[in-house]
Every structure is written in C-alpha cells, then in structure tokens.
Amino acid sequence: MAANPQVVLTNAQLDELCINTIRTLCMDAVQKANSGHPGTPMAMAPVAYALWQRVLRFDPQDPIWPNRDRFVLSMGHASTLLYSMLCLCQVKAVDSAYERLGELSVKPSDLERFRQLDSKCPGHPEYRWTSGIETTTGPLGQGVATSVGMAMAGKWLAEHFNRPDFEMFNYNVYALCGDGCMMEGVSGEAASLAGHLQLSNLCWIYDNNKITIEGNTSWAFSDDVATRFIGYGWNVTRVGDANDQEVLARAFKTFQKTTDRPTLIIVDSHIAYGSPHKQDTSAAHGEPLGEEEIRLTKRNYGWPENAKFYIPEGVYEHFQAGVGERGHDQRQSWMAQLKEYEKKYPELALQLDQMQTRKLPAGWDQNLPVFPPDEKGVAGRDASAKVENAFAKNIPWLIGGAADLAPSTKTRLTFDGAGDFLAGSYGGRNLHFGIREHAMASILNGLALSKIRPFGAGFLIFSDYSRPAIRLAALMEIPTIYIFTHDSIGVGEDGPTHQPVEQLASLRAIPGLITLRPGDANETLEAWKFILQLRHDPAVLIVARQALPTLDRSKYAPASGLAKGAYVLADASSGKPEVILMASGSEVYLAVAAFETLKAEGIKARVVSMPSWEVFEHQSEAYRESVLPSDVEARVSVEQASIFGWGQYVGRKGRRIGMKTFGASAPLKELQKKYGFTPEAIVSAAKETLNGAR
C-alpha cells in the first residue's frame, strides 16, 4: 500500500506500509547490487518490524547507551533487513571514540550501494563498520552463540552494578536466526549452556521457513527443534504466521514475562513473491529477484512499480513515534538515574564509565607477583595463574573461565570474593563453559562486546575448535583474551592428538590477532600487562604446561622487552654478533643454554626472544634492524611447533629447528632429543649456519 498524503491511514495500514517499505528496500538493494539474499529479509520484515517498533529498548539517537536491548541478526545473509531497519529508524552513527556524530548510520544512498566497496552496507553485518550493528555475523551460528555472551554480560552487570532503587542494567538480548544457525553445532553448544544458566534475558527468534541453499530442509534436517530446546531448558512458543502482528506481540510479551529460562520463538514463514513460479530457494539464498518479478511483487503491495528505494511519506515519522520516542524516553530516564547513581555510588559509576570506554582503573598494575631467578623455574600456566589473579583483583570486570579445563589451565580466580557465575547467581567472576570450546570463544566475544573484559582458556590443540570465533574477534577489533596452555610437544605422553604443531602458525596468520608466547614467568607477567592495555585487539596468550627456568634478569635483558614483540635477551659482550638464535616460549631457555656454550667457545652469539611476531612487526624498521641486523645471515630459530613462517626471520642461509611432522607419545626429554630441541642441537645448527654464511 503506497501512501497518499490525502488519506489518513489506520495503525494497521501504517504497519503494513512500513513492513512493505522494508521489503521493497531489501529487494531493490539486492537487485541493484546483483548480489545478495532478498527472500529472508522479505519474509522476516514483519518480525523485525514488530520487535523494533513495539518492543526493543533502543534509542536511534544513541545506539550504544549501556542498557539498550541488543538485536543480533544471526542469519547475516539477510543483512538488508537490518540495514533497512537502521535506515528507517534513522539511527545515528557513532565513531570509535564514542562521540555521537550528526550523520545517519545508514542513509538511503548507502542502501543503494549495498555490497559495494567501502559501503556502510557490506554483504554481512560488520561491527564497528556500521553503527547499530551489535556483532559481526555471517558464519551461521556465530550470532546466536555470541548473543549468549551478551545475555551473560547483562546478568553479570546487573549483579555488579544494580543497587536498591537503581536498576542500572536489565536489558534483553534478541537474536534472529534460521535453519542454518540451528544446524551449526555452535548453536547447540551455546543453547545448552544458556538453558543451564537460565538466562531469562535471552530470546532467539527462529525463522522456520524450511529452506536452505540446496533446497528444502527435509533433505538434511528433521530435528524437532521445539522439543530439542525444551530439553535444553528453554521456554518455547510458536507464531504460526510471520505476518501476524498480534501473535508476534503476544510472543514477545511471553518472553518478557518468563523469568527462569531463555525463550525460543519459532516463527513459521513463507517467502511470497508477485508470481507463483517464484516459490524457490534462489532469492532466499543468493540471487536477486529480477526486475520483472520485483515489479509484480510491488504491484501486489500496491507500490509504484518502477520506483526504486522508495520510502513513502509517513514511514520515518511512524518509526520516530514508535521506537524513536520510546527509546529516547527510556535512555533519558536511564541517564537521569545515572546522575543520581554517580552521587550515591561514585566508585561504581566510575567503573561503569571506564568499562564503556575500555579504560583501566587506577592501580590496575599494582601488587603484582615477583619472580626471582630460579633454575628449576615455574610452569608457564602457574605463572599465568598468579599474574591473572593479581590483575583481576585490580580490575573488577576482568572475568573468565575455561572449557572444563580450569584445573589444568590454572585459570580459576582464587581470591576471596571471586565467586562463580552460576544459574540464579550471576555475580561470580569464574565462568564455567563446560566442554564447549567453540561456544566459549563466541560467548567471550559477546562479553567483550558488552564491555566486560573476558578471558577463556583451553589447551592449544583445541584452539582449532575456537578458531571461527577468534577470527571474528580479530575482524571486529574487540579485546577478547584467549589463554591456551599445553602449548607444544611438551605435552609428552598424551601424544600427537594433544600436541599442537600447526596451531601457532595458524593463529599468527589471522590478521589483527596478537599472539604472545612468553619464555619464562617474568615474560608472562609482561604479556598480561601488554594484553590488558589493548583496546581494539584480541590476544592469544600461549603458555607451557611444564616448568621453565626463570631467567636471571640482572644477567640478561629485562622482560619488559616483550612489549616490543621481540628483543635482544642475551648478546655478545663486544662487537656485532656472528650468529643469532631466535626462540619463543619454552624454547627460549634452550637458546640461552646454547648461547652460553657458544660464548664459552669464543663464538659471538645473540639470543632474541620472540614472544610475538605481530607486535614485533609493528615496531619501526630501525628497531627491527637493531634486533635482527640484516647483515648477520647466520641465524637459527627454535620452536617446538611447525617451522612454517620462520623463514622470514632466518633467511635463506639460516636453520629452522622445529616440527616437520606430528609429534609422538613419549616423555618430554625423549621427544626433545628425537626432534632436536636440545642445547647441543642448537649449538650444532648455529655452527653449521655460521660456516654456511661465511
């Protein structure tokens, strides 16, 4: 129904007008791009409209105010649906400094540039690229899994900040998902944990359209989704027709009244077009409708058939009168409450502000552990545990846990008052993810997006299970912390199934991810210090299971050199080095032992500790040259992992001591001898490369 300025429309007619505006904008955007998915946005337009216009606590003028409801489009291929909502609600853009800008987040002209270079409307929703996008979605299942972290954050924030007469946090999280999300395993992991934790502030809306790329879901999917989620401990309700605004409103009210579990709303939808023959899957998954089909569909809507990106008179005003006014009033009320809260609870109010801008509290790096020289040393995971607990005492919003491996990864917060995050008791700072590495990583992202500083832990070999979410953290530029222990063939008797070989190289390959593998307890302390100052970079901290000697820093360079990514740890007493030994993590002390042997034999050697390639590459060319002089071609790298990537540092004439195969099941010392991870083998390689470079 097209608007006529001479006709006063009823509320139902305005609803239909707005819904059809969403649909036609989506059709036109996909058609102009000649790429995208128009079917799902068209089918789900009534659902998104009902949620945003009548339910969502969201102020378009300030899309980042802390107590807003979160909306996650987990079916990221339907991105035009979200872009259209941002456009019609006239959401304002916010820059990375959290200063509201005068321009709109998505203008009609941005929709016209859907999927084009530098457009605010990329192929899938991207956090930090377009204001109003709560998380990057695209890989199916990631959005719903991340939404669990957002809901957990809401519960934790309420426990931490709320006081009598001051309900600072009570937001809800809504995630729109489809059959693809339901099939991906990460959604099952996340839904299971959400049900167990009784996250009553979480609502998933399932588009039950029975269509995937290959065809009808009956070819590969016959789950009874309702029964499955009831089994997870969710409340399940159903909307039989996606177009029924009254029943949709009732379903959302049912969610809001449910206080003991999350809610799944199953919405039955059907993609309808202008002509009967168009009832196929192409438009739902990756093909424009075509100009003729669009004209027929617009005719069905009573729309100007040849108008492109047409927004009828009254649509903007209707959204402003709905979500706009409601969200504005809710935010203003919250901001007024915040002013009173600042007077009564100034310390908590300061914490809230620091969290929102990712700042550290005063004294965040005080009372840290001291690690004196010790030949026997301390395990990397044990050193990390002491450091982590010290920092967590100083930073109240540093929380985290492990995928059922806290006793092994040593990542439990043990100081008084740390507590556990459990169903019905959400104030604890120890999270328990169960054996769900993939969901854990996604949930950590949801916590980070909610401005909590989360960490999650596991064995390095299982980073493979977490990789999709780690990659998205890097893409979103959020400071999630991943801790991986049991970092090499040093796992020993557990054998090659548990011995990470290629994982280090693969993590280093992810753009924007900081990978840190400290060589002793003091480097571990500096690694934590470096990580906690990151605001837009996720970090992976990789530590050893076995004890590593704590180096004498009065004899060798201070561990603070870690902040440069790589630094000269030990050097020739005079003149330029003849050979450079490079290592990370548990192999640093082996390089130091080899250095001492070479020194005793009159060979000028240098040891470079390289805990982070990424950080080193960000240093100036002059600094990098000072650490690795280009005219010193005799070089040896040592790492109990794949040699892949070390070639850029050792050069053509260097040697790489590392893994070229999988490991084996045996005690550590036997493995080190078999694969050449001994001071003697390093000395031999150093002499060989030195002779070759002369």
Q: How many angstroms separate the most distant Cα atoms in the chain?
A: 97
* Helix or strand holding residue 243 (H, E): none
CA distance 333 to 667: 64
Active-site positions read 437
Task: At 652, list the tokens.
Answer: 């053509």
Distances (CA, A) of 130 to 86, 108, 210, 302: 9, 14, 30, 32
Q: Which amino acid is at 377?
A: G
Residue 135 near residue 446 (C-beta atoms within 8 A): yes
Reading phi first (left if > 0) and then psi (alpha if -120 to 50, else beta), residue 595 is in alpha
Residue 198 near residue 206 (C-beta atoms within 8 A): no
**Chain centre to alpha carbon of residue 274:** 40
Task: At 249, list the tokens.
Answer: 């409103």
Distances (CA, A) of 236 to 151, 233, 250, 581: 18, 9, 13, 61
Task: At 4, list the tokens.
Answer: 């006529």
Residue 66 near residue 169 (C-beta atoms within 8 A): yes
Strand 100-104, strand 92-94: pairing:
antiparallel
Q: What are phi and psi of 205, to 5 degrees?
A: -110, 115
Query: Among all chains, which residue has been given the structure tokens 């791009």?
Result: 33
End-to-end CA separation in angstroms for the chain:
83
Task: At 448, list the tokens.
Answer: 């980070």
Angle at 437 between CA 434 and CA 443, to 5 degrees: 85
